[in-house]
Structures are given as C-alpha cells and as structure tokens.
Structure 1
Amino acid sequence: MRLLDRMSLATDQHFVFAPLSTWMQLTTLLEGARGTTLQEMKKVTHMFRSKCNRRNQRKIMNELKQDIYPQMNMSSAIVLDSAYDIKHNYLDEVKYGGVRIFVVDFDEPQKAAARINEYLFDSSSMEEMMFPQDFQHTTVLTADAGYFMSEWKTPFQTIQTEVSPFYDEKNFEIGKVNLMRQTGVFSMTTIPTIKATVLELKCSDRISMLLFLPVEGASIYQVYESLMNIRLQSIIMRLERDRRKDVDVYLPRFEIVTDVDNLPELLYDMGVKKMFYPRTADFHGMSDYKLFVSMVQQKSRIEVTEGGVVANFVPQMLISGQNYKTFKANRPFAFMVVDRTTELILFAGMYSQPSLY
C-alpha cells in the first residue's frame, strides 16, 4: 500500500499499477542479494521467512499467474548481462518464481531488446518498452507488463450504458463518460476508517474488483492514504460480515494505460537504496562480479467494459426500487483487482480523468 500511495502522488491520481509484479521482482532479486542490500530488500518486501518458505511462496505466485490467464496477465523479467558469469545455483533457485530471468549479451542490445519485448508483450497488445540504449552502462535491468480485462460473473448490459457527466471532488462537471449500469445483489459496505464505500464486483470465484468511492467530504487521496492503515483481509471480512444488498451500480467504461519509469525513485523513498548504486549494491549471490540495478519499469493496462452480453436478458433485474442502494462512480474513485484466495492485490489504481471509452 505504501508503493500505491506514492504512485497516486506521482500520477495525478489517475493510474493503474500491478504491485504484485514489482514485489515478485524484488523477492527474486533478493535471493541474490547479500549484506545490507539484502536487509533493505527484506524490510520492504517483508520476506523474513526461511529460504524454503520463500520458495513455496514463489511457487504459489507462479500458480496464481497461470490460474488468472487470459483475463489478466503479468509478464515480469529480470535481465542480466551474460558477461558477468551469473551463478547457476541462483538461476536454479528462482527458476519457478513467476519472474523470467534472461541472461543475454548486453553488447548486442538490439537483439536483447527484441527478445525481452517479445516476451513482455506477446499477449498484451501494448507497445515495446525496452530499447537498445537501455543496455548501455548497466548490468541488471527489470521490466514487467501486465493487463486486466474485465469479465464479470454478472455482466453489465450494453443497452443500459449511457453517456453521463463525470464530476470532480467539488461536484463540478469535468467531462463525460460512458456510464455502465446494472442492478443486482452485491457485497457493499461503508468503512469509516478509510472514508469510503466499498463495492465488490466478482470476476470469478477467486478474483474480484473492489471499488472505493469516497464518502461525502473525503478526497480520493485521503482514501488511499487511509488504506495504508487497514489490511486487505479486514476489508474482505467486512464485506463478508455485512449482508449482501440490492444495489444499483453505475461504473464508467474505461481504459487506463500507465507507463511507470520512475519506480527506482519510489522504491528509494521506501528504503530500497543500495541496489541502485555500483559502490553499494551487493549481489554476490548472483555473481562474483559487481552488479547493480539501473532500471525498474512497469507498463500496466486495465480495460473495464460491460464484460459481454448474456442472452438471458431479464428486464426486471434492471429496475431499481425503493429498497435498492446506489453505488454511482460518476466522480473520482479507486479500484483494486484482488485474489481472494491469497488476499493479494493484483492490480490497483485510481480513475479521475473522464473520457468516452
């Protein structure tokens, strides 16, 4: 949550980010770190368990990535220079951790960049993110690309989507959106400690999108700031404890693509510092030579649509009555795509810049 909070400040509160991918990259690098570099990374990733437990945790993450494909995908890569004799025991240790390790010749940057981009964007339909010049004066690069495409257990009906105003936090209209709508039984609760009403939209038995709409008088940034003081498990338990309700749901149809190239700055602010400097980085678990990380970047994409049209259209389910609650995201809101099984945040972000998508 600390990293997401910093992302909100760096992106004008309109972004999507895959925190799990960055965490997996850091824990994979951690296995080759030593000394104070290792201690910094352990503190930020909370990886204080034994190597056996860490190995099991990475195995769970890898299985998760396979289970959620193709609705969403996260392709993470760590790129190492073959000139530095990368240790085979390190490569064996992290082989099944969900992050692909590439050992390539940095003296052939065009070939190396093409290979990494082919892996990152094989199924994400996004532009390349690694270029030949990235391989100059460096030894370790990391990059990941991820996408989420909504596929609801209960789809929205396209016939209900209408062009509607979108407002800022002072209730001034700032644009138009295609506002989707559906009425049904959902888990929804208001949590005073985070100053937001939370709605759960299920994508599958395992994956859900949580929507956070600030209560009156609260800003979307205040919601994100407050989320640092509550565990995801507590939010899920609160949703399960409160009875499911009849809710009239309004949600913009949208796409957000975020290219994050300042992750080193964000990680530095959180306490991961030494791995970015040749003089202080200690990765002797990877190589007997001096290695340091010079680039950490991520490109994420989220697409939220009606999720398909079902044939068994039931008109009465789309008629609101007096007993229906309303969740209308026609003003800035936050979202998280979560795995209920592991209680992990797969994607998260904010929506505050309206457009007709």
Structure 2
Amino acid sequence: MILKASILFILPTLILINGQNVSNSLNEFSLNLLATTNSEAGDNLNIALSPFTIWTLLTIVSEGAQGNSLRQLVSVLKLNNNIKQVRSNYLAMHDSLLKEADGVHLDFSSAIFTNKKFNLRDSYQKNIKEFYKVNVIPTDFKNTKSAADDINNYISKNTNNRINSLVNDDDLRDAFIFLTSVLSFKGEWKSPFNRTATKPEAFYDEKGTKIGDVKMMYQNGYFPYTRVEAIRSYALELPYGSDGKMSMVVILPFKGTALANSLNLLSKFTFNKLLDYLEDAEEKFIDEEVQVYLPRFRVTSEFNMDRVLNKMGIKDIFNSQEADLLGILDQYLYISRVLQRADIEVDEEGTVAAAAAGASFAYKSPPPKFQANRPFMYFLVDKPTRSMVFAGKVSNPNSF
C-alpha cells in the first residue's frame, strides 16, 4: 500500500561553523531554485520565493531518506555529507535567525502534522526535534476539513495572519504526513524613503518598451553599490533596522541584458562573492551618495514546486515506486506535492514578507543613479550568516 506524504512550504543564514559550507550550500540552491522557477514561470510573472524554507523542509526530509532518494536530496540541496556538521550548523542558524534586532521582526518555525494512527520512527523524531526544532503535531487526517483548519491556523499564527488559507480538503486527501516551514518577516528600512518623493514613473521591459507605470520611491543615501561586469548587472544593498542585521540586495541587469541571463551568471559567480563586492564597495565609497529609485510593490506567488524541484534533480521522492523514505515512518511514503505561497510587500517604510570570471568595480561619479525601472531581482539577506531568507524578481508592473 502506497501512502502519500504531503509537504507544504510557505514563505524564507546560516551561522558559519567549520567554514562556509552550509551558507554556500543554501545560497547555491537558492539561486538555482529561483532560476528554475523563473524559467517555468516566464518573463511576465513576478516571483516571490523563500528558498530557505524549501531548503529547510527538504533537509528535514533528507534525515529520513535512504538510497537514491537521499543521494538526490544531498546533491541538489548541496548538503555536506557530514550529517553532524549539517545538524550543528542548522541549529546555530536557527538561533541566529531568531535573535532580536532593532527594526527587524522575524519569526520562524517548522512543524510536522502526523497521522494519529502512525508514529514517526523514534530516531527520526528525536533528530528533527533536537536539531531542527520541529514541532510534531498529531492530526486526524480522516477529517480533512478539521486537519486543514488546524494547519491553516498554524500557518496564519506563524505568519502574523498574512497567509490564512493555503491548504484545502483536497490537498490533504490520503495524506499521512504534512510538513510546514513558516517564516514571517517585517523590516523597517534603516533609511526610509520619503513618501512625498514617490511619483508615478514608467516601467520598461528588457527590450526598452514601456509596459506600465509604477509608484517609484526615491531617496539619496549612503548605500553599498557597485557595477559587476561578471553578472552584467548593478547591485545595491538597502539595510534594515539600526544595526543592519538584515538587508535587501537588489540586482538590476544592464540595459539590454535579460534578467534570466544575469541570474544564470550570478549562479556561477556565487552570491557570497557578490556580498564580498558589496562590502568592498561600502568601504571604498563610504562617503558617496547613491540616487535610489525603487518601485513600491507587492508580490504574491503560489506554486506547486514539484516540477521545479524535479527539473533540479529531486525526482525519486515524488515517485510512488521509487521513493525511499522508510527512515521517517514504517510505511511506504512518497511526496505528493510541495506547495508554496509567499507574499512580499515593499514600501517607503520597509518590507513585510510572509526567498565567475573576474569582476571589477567601476569608479562612481557622484551621484550614481540606481534606477529600477526595468526587470530586477531582489534578495533578503541575514548579514551575520550571509544567507538568503527570501528571493524573487519584479518584471510586470501590471500585476502588483
């Protein structure tokens, strides 16, 4: 008998212990996930993702995976083969995420809703509780409406009511396990935009054709900013809170460069190297102002991630005949779906979110202008651990 295991992901780091393995792994996976999702979604769809929470869910699954299922997860998630190191790094990351910071509010939790009739393997339950801080919640999946209400209430509570109704009865049909990883983030800009400076402006596609109008925010400020030839883009960092524990990194491809191309180049260049360049730029140009033009936007994305993850190389866990997850439960399980809904809102005060070859710095003639009036990428980053919490792109002003 084949039992389905439904996995839910909602809405996005890692403390560096014994090197940067875990941080690099997460960021590499995150860029690949955004690039693959962008390829599936197309140029005209805005995207909000939290790669971190998908990475977390699948890492928790990997604790109970065996054989080829485990090998695929380790490969795509870029996990270290040293499971003790992965666990200790994750635990340290969890603690770092939840540290309070002025102007930044972040809540993060993971839970497994389990069928009351079946118990998780003792060793699996012990490990996910101890190292991943997962809440194990027995649930009556026979009553799918009641189970959906329980899960939605948990999600709503842990996203400050920003996501209230993600799953329905059909999502839970035949489910024996339901995993959630929930993150809620609210950040206030260290240097807020002035609402009186926000004006309607044109937004263009990658070919330079006007496709709509946006409410363009504006300010002059001292922000890390650089031109990175290796990814054919400009990069800007906007910090949150008084201590800048978290920040938004905005990447604007050069005129005439497709966003997908810059994203693929960034995957090879690595996100950590981009952060190095921004830190270097901050030191070199600390006294130079930047003119920042950034649209006010809100993006909500809802995806079934199975196809994306399959294209990335995670295949067997979605196949009822091939999945090997016997380390989770003493039953034959496979993953029926990975659902994601993410929401991000950027305005003058801040952000509310419920995601190679050599490079050189260009001399910045004061004041340089960063004008995001064409498709761009954005990433929410935890600075102490240099890891992505959230990622996405804006390419269609008509679907804000």
Residue 106 of structure 1: aligned partner: 141
Please name the residue that 1:341 is paired with.
384
Alpha-carbon deviations, 1:100-122, whole Å to 9, x = none? 44332221212211111111121
Give the Å deviation of 1:34: 1.5
Contact between 1:201 and 1:210, CA under 8 Å: does it hold in 2? yes
- Determine the C-alpha separation between the residues in 2 that align with 1:71 and 1:178: 26
1:262-314 per-position Cα deviation (integer Å, ceiling 9, x unaligned): x1111111111111123221222222211211121111111101117xxxxxx
- RMSD, aligned CA: 2.1
**Equivalent residue for 1:187?**
224
Over residues 49-80 of structure 1, what are the superposed CA-to-partner deviations in whole Å (9 max), with x where a residue is unaligned?
43322221221232244237964445544433
CA offset digits 1:201-246 (Å, max 9, x no partner): 0114221111111112201111111111022210111112222331
Unpaired segments of 5 or more residues in structure 2?
A: 1-30, 351-364
| Conservation of the 8 A alpha-carbon contact between 1:77 and 1:99 | yes
Whether the aligned pair in 1 keeps the contact of 2:98 and 2:106 (CA below 8 Å) is no
1:234 corresponds to 2:269: no
Question: Is 1:60 aligned to 2:92, yes or no?
Answer: yes
- Could you tell me how far 1:146 is from its partner in structure 2? 4.3
Q: TM-score, normalised by structure 2?
A: 0.80
Number of aligned positions between the proteins = 343
Equivalence for 1:16? 48
- Secondary structure at the residue paired with 1:217? coil
Amino acid at match of 1:118: N
CA spacing shift, 1:76–1:124, aligned 2, 3 Å? farther
- Corresponding residue for residue 175 of structure 2: 138
Within 1, Cα distance between the matches of 2:344 and 2:272? 23
Q: Distance in 2 between matches of 1:166 and 1:51?
A: 47
Is 1:221 the counterpart of 2:260? The answer is yes
The corresponding residue for 1:313 is: none
In 2, the alpha carbon distance for the partners of 1:285 and 1:295 equals 19
Deviation (angstroms), 1:148? 4.3
Which blocks of at least 5 consecutive residues in structure 1 are unaligned?
309-321
Equivalent positions of 1:39-188 (< 5 A) are 39-67=71-99, 71-96=105-130, 97-122=132-157, 123-188=160-225
**Which residue number corresponds to residue 315 of structure 1?**
none
Structure 2 residue 300 is matched with structure 1 residue 257: yes
Aligned sequence identity (%): 29
> In the aligned structure 2, how far is the partner of 1:162 from the partner of 1:219?
26
Query: Partner amino acid for 1:4?
Result: L
> TM-score with structure 1 length normalisation?
0.89
Secondary structure of the equivalent of 2:188?
Answer: coil
What CA distance in whole angstroms lies between the structure 2 residues aligned with 1:223 and 1:74? 30
Distance 1:177 1:76, change over 3 A: farther
CA contact (8 A) 2:226 2:278 kept: yes
- Measured after TM superposition, the shift of residue 45 of structure 1 is 1.4
- Separation in 2 of the partners of 1:209 and 1:247? 15
Mapped to 2, the partners of 1:160 and 1:68 lie a distance apart of: 31
Q: CA shift at 1:131, angstroms?
A: 1.2
